Amino acid sequence: MVGISKISFKIRDNLSGIKSFNGYIDGKWVLMEFDTKTASLWHTFDDSTNQGKHTLEVIVSDMKNNIKNYSISFYK
């Protein structure tokens, strides 16, 4: 992820729709932005994400309160 300004995902729910989404880097909440037209969810890195190994967790829930967690490690 060195030199990359943001990380993005595609999220969707074909039935009830997306209710909420949250992102965490190393357990700390980070701002995630969502474009409904493209179903794109992204986080733009800032100075608070230092060099080294990090863990990103994204939690998405739909209108029926089904929850999906996605976790990945990355290096910046």
Give per-residue pLDDT as tens, 17-52: 999 999 999 999 999 999 999 999 999 998 888 889
Q: What's the confidence (pLDDT) of residue 8?
A: 95
Give the integer Cα–Cα distance in Å for 59 and 73: 15
Cβ atoms of 58 and 23 within 8 Å: the answer is: yes
Question: 0.85 cut: is pTM over it?
Answer: yes
Instruction: Label residue 62 by pLDDT band (50, 70, 90).
Output: very high
What proportion of the chain, given as a percentage, has pLDDT over 90? 78
